[in-house]
Amino acid sequence: MLSLVQPAMDSQALRAPTPASRSESPVKRYLAAGKYRLYPFDQSAKPYFDAACARVNVALSDYSFANNIIWFGQASGFYQIIEGCFCLFSLTGNGLSMLLPPLGEPSRQQRALRICDRIMDAYNGSPQQGWLDFVYRDFLKVLDTDLLTGLPLVNGHPWHVEVTNPDYIYRTQDLIELKGNAYKTKRNEINQFRRAYPNHELVPFSQEHESAARQLVNTWMQQRLQTIPDGSFENFVHNLEMERKAIQRAISLYDELKLEGLSLFINGQLAGFTFGERLNRDVANVLIEKTDFNIQGAAQYLFREFSKVFADCTYINVGDDLGFENLRRVKMSYRPAMFGDKVILRRAPAE
C-alpha cells in the first residue's frame, strides 16, 4: 500500500511539510483503488504540488495549483506521492484518469506512471477508462518507445498521443504597449471605452467585491447563452457551466490562493474583474477575466491594465480556448508569441 508521502530517497524526492499539530485529526479520507490509497486534492496538497511543479518548471496554465483547485470540485480530485512524484487523479462518471502526468524528477517519472497505470486499472472496469490529460510534450521523452510504431510504452502497452488545445502565450510588453497595425483595433476599442466612460475606476479586487462579482458572472452567463454556436448545444452549455462553477470557486478562494486581481467599476457598478498569478519568475497566468458584454471596450481595457500588473514577467499565459471558435479568434487577435503545446495520452486498444 502506498503511503501518503514516501520517505525521501535523496535530495531530489518530494519532502513532506511540517507534521500536523495534535489538535488536527489524524484521520484522512481516501479513495481506494485496489491496494492503493488516493487522498483528496485540497489545500493540504498545495506544498507537495508546488514543489513538484517547480521540478518540472512547465509554464502551462494547467500546472498551477489555483487553476486545478478551481476547475474541479475537491470531491473529484485525488492525489498520491509516487516515486517522489506528485500524481493527480480525476474521478468522474467515466472512471479514474490523470489530470496531469506524474510531476517530479525526470528519472522518476516513468516509474511513477507505471504505478499510476496500475492504479487506474485497479479502479476502472476497462483499461481505456484511464488516460492522461494536459501532458506537456517533453514528458514524452522520459517514456520508452515502441520501435515499430513510435508510440510511447507504459508497462509494455502502447499509448496513443492526441494533440489538444494549446495555451496562448504573449509577450507582456506587447499586451501593454499594443503597438503597430496589428493592435490598431484594440487601441481604438480602448480609446472608445475611455471616452464613453471617463468616470470608470480600476481598483485591486477584494472580498468586498464578491457579491457584485458573482452577479456579474450570472449576467455574463446569460449573455453567453444567447450566442450558442450551431450544432454544439450540449458541449457548449456543459463547458459554460463548468467555467461558471470554476469562477465562483475562484471568487471564494481568492484570498486563500493569494491571487492578484483587478475590478473595473463604472458609476459605482462592477463592469468587470480579472484574476491571475505568477507561474514562475518569468511567466504570469491569467486565470479569469469577465466583463459585461454590453460595455464596448471594457474587456480590452481591463486586459491591458491587468497586463501591467505583471510587467516584471516576460510572458503572460492566458490558457487555452476550450475548443470555442469565438474564444480562439479573440486569443489569436492578440498575436501570441508562442503556443504552449499539450497532448492527451490514451492506451491503444488491444489488437
pLDDT band (50, 70, 90) for residue 228: confident
Task: Convert 41-67 to b/e letters by CB count within 10 Å (16 or more is b).
Answer: beeebbebbebbbebbebbbbbbbbbb
Q: What is the pLDDT of residues 237-258, one digit of tens each?
A: 888 888 899 999 999 999 999 9
Q: Are 78 and 31 in contact (CB under 8 A)?
A: yes
Q: Which of 128, 58, 123 is CA-nearest to residue 86? A: 58
Residue 20 confidence (pLDDT) above 60:
no
- The owner of cell 480525476 is 90
Q: Give the H or E element holding residue 224.
A: helix 210-224
Q: What is the pTM of this model?
A: 0.89
Q: Are 62 and 69 in contact (CB under 8 A)?
A: no
* Residues with Cβ within 8 Å of residue 294, at least 6 apart in sequence: 223
In angstroms, the CA 24 to CA 143 distance is 40
Half-sphere exposure of 143 (CA within 13 A, CB side): 26
pLDDT band (50, 70, 90) for residue 14: low
In angstroms, the CA 52 to CA 46 distance is 10
Tell me the C-alpha to C-alpha distance, in Å, between residue 26 and each of 3, 8, 19, 39, 248: 14, 21, 10, 13, 30
Tell me the C-alpha to C-alpha distance, in Å, between residue 267 and each of 6, 145, 197, 201, 262: 56, 61, 9, 8, 16
- Collapsing DSSP to helix, strand or coil, 194 comes out as helix
Q: Are 216 and 272 in contact (CB under 8 A)?
A: yes
Q: What is the pLDDT of residues 251-279, one digit of tens each?
A: 999 999 999 999 999 999 999 999 999 99
Domains and CATH numbers, the chain: 31-166+343-347 (3.40.630), 167-319 (3.40.630.30)
Q: What is the pLDDT of residues 137-174, one digit of tens each?
A: 999 999 999 999 999 999 999 999 999 999 999 999 99
DSSP state of 182: G
